[in-house]
Amino acid sequence: MVLDKAKALAIPTKFGQSLKVEKNKTKTIIWKSYNELNELWFEDEFSINDSAIRLRVKAKNYTDVSKRLIQILRATYDLNPEFLSSKQGYKITTHQDFNRLWGLGTSSTLINNIADWAHVDAYKLLEKTFSGSGYDIACAQNSKPITYQLRYAQNPLVETVDFNPDFKSQLYFVYLNHKQNSRDGIASYRKKAKVDTSIIDAINSITEAIITCEVLSEFEKLVNTHETIISKLIDQKPIKSLLFKDFKGSVKSLGAWGGDFVLVTSQDDPTEYFASKGFEVVISYIDMVI
C-alpha cells in the first residue's frame, strides 16, 4: 500500500549493517562481508575502469552477489561520476549483526551506506537498483519510529512519531523460516491489487489509530482489520488462518506477505507455542526495535 502513497508506520530495528571504506594502492576494490557470527560469507575483488562512456567493473569470482554489487556500483557512478576512479583502490568491509535471511534490511542498509559513501541520494540509488517504496531507507536513516508516505518520485514525507505503547511487552516478532523476495512481492502486488482512494484512506486511518492506540485490545482490532483489507486486496489468506488458526493473539504480516517476520500479540511469552509449530525464532518487541 505504501507503493500507492498510503501512510505507513515504520520502526527501525536494533539490528543493522556497517560499511567500512579504506583506501589502498591496489587500484581495485577488495570486498569482504561478515555475518553476525563474524564469519566471512562473501568476498571478491573488482577491477575498475572509469571510461568516458560508463563505469566498467569486473569481478574476479563473478557470483550472483558480485553481479548485484556491480549493478549497485554502476548505478552509484551514474548518480555521481566522481564516485570511483581507476586510479584509486579500496578495501570495503561490511558487518551485519543479524541473520541476513531474516529480511531486516540487508539490501536497504547496504544501499544507504553506499549512498553515504558516494554522497548520492539513497532513494534515487534504491530506485536504480532494487526499487521498492523506500521506507526501509528511511528506517536506516532514523533512530526513532517514523511515518512514511510517498508523494512523488524519490521525495517521500518522513516524520518521526512517538510510538511507545504501554503494551509493547506483549508484542513479538516471529520468523517464518524463509526470506521473502521483496521484488517478487512488489510484482505480485502490482499484478493483483486494485487500489482506490477509499482503501488508501482506510489504511491511513488505521496507521494513525495505531500510533495513538493505548490498549492492546484496540491494537489487535486495528491489526486484524488491516490484515483483512490487504488479504482481499492481494487475494491471499492471512498468515494466521494459514498457519496459526489456534493462536489466541493477533498475527500481522510485515513487508511482502508470506515470508520474513510476522508481528504477533500475546498476553504471555508465545515462544513455546511457535516452537511447537516449527518456528523457533521469536524476538520480543523490546529486543527488536530501537
Which CATH number covers residue 190? 3.30.70.890
- Asked whether the beta carbons of 115 and 122 are under 8 A apart, the reply is yes
Predicted confidence at residue 131, as pLDDT, reads 83
Cell readout for 246 is 489456534
Q: Which three cell numbers stand for residue 147?
A: 511515518
Q: Which of 163, 183, 207 is the last residue of a domain?
A: 163
pTM, to two decimals: 0.89
Strands 282-284 and 171-175: antiparallel
3-state SS, the chain, equals CHHHCCCEEECCECCCEEEEEEEECCCEEEEEEECCCCCEEEEEEEEEEECCCCEEEEECCCCHHHHHHHHHHHHHHHHCCCCCCCCCEEEEEEEECCCHHHCCCHHHHHHHHHHHHHCCCHHHHHHHCCCCCCHHHHHHCCCCCEEEEEEECCEEEEEECCCCCCCHHHEEEEECCCCCCHHHHHHHHHHHCCCCHHHHHHHHHHHHHHHHCCCHHHHHHHHHHHHHHHHHHHCCCCHHHHHCCCCCCCEEECCCCCCCEEEEECCCCCHHHHHHCCCCCEEEHHHHEC
Torsion of CA 152, 290, 258, 196, to 10 degrees: -30
Pair 140, 177 in one domain: no
- Residue 211 has a pLDDT of 97
Same domain, 23 and 48: yes
Count of domains forming the chain: 2
**Distance between CA atoms of residues 227 and 240, nearest Å:** 10
By the 8 A CB rule, do 240 and 220 touch? no
| Residue-number span of the structural domain to which 68 is assigned | 1-163
Q: Are residues 130 and 212 in the same domain?
A: no
pLDDT at 48: 87
Last residue of a domain, one of 163, 184, 203: 163
Last residue of a domain, one of 105, 128, 163: 163
181 lies in the same domain as 263: yes
pLDDT at 62: 85
Co-location of 114 and 179 in the same domain: no
What pLDDT, on a 0 to 100 scale, did the predictor assign at position 185? 60
Site of grid cell 521473502 = 180
Residue appearing with cell numbers 512514511: 148
The answer on 71 and 45 residing in a single domain is yes
The helix-helix angle for 216-234 and 182-192 (nearest 10°) equals: 70
CA–CA distances in Å: residue 10 to residues 37, 135, 197, 268: 27, 7, 21, 25
Give the whole-angstrom CA distance, residue 115 versus residue 219.
Answer: 36
pLDDT values of the chain reduced to their tens digit, one per residue, 290 residues: 888 899 999 999 999 999 999 999 888 999 999 999 999 999 999 998 866 556 788 888 889 999 999 999 999 999 999 898 778 899 999 999 999 888 888 899 999 999 999 999 999 999 999 888 899 999 999 999 999 999 876 689 999 999 999 999 999 999 999 876 666 666 666 676 678 899 999 999 999 999 999 999 999 999 999 999 999 888 889 999 999 999 999 999 997 776 689 999 999 999 999 999 999 999 999 999 98
CATH of the domain at 48: 3.30.230.10
Q: Which amino acid is at 81?
A: P
Q: What is the pLDDT of residue 104?
A: 84
Q: Which of 199, 196, 144 lies closest to 9, judged by CA?
A: 144
Q: Crossing angle of helices 216-234/197-212, nearest 10°?
A: 160
pLDDT score of 101: 86
Question: Strands 28-34, 40-50: parallel, antiparallel or unpaired by DSSP?
Answer: antiparallel
Pair 218, 156 in one domain: no
| 156 plus 216 within the same structural domain | no
Tell me: do 157 and 265 sit in the same domain: no
Q: Which pLDDT does position 51 carry in this prediction?
A: 62
Q: Is residue 94 located within the same domain as residue 217? A: no
If asked whether residues 7 and 141 sit together in one domain, one would say: yes
190 and 137 co-located in one domain: no
First to last CA, the chain: 24
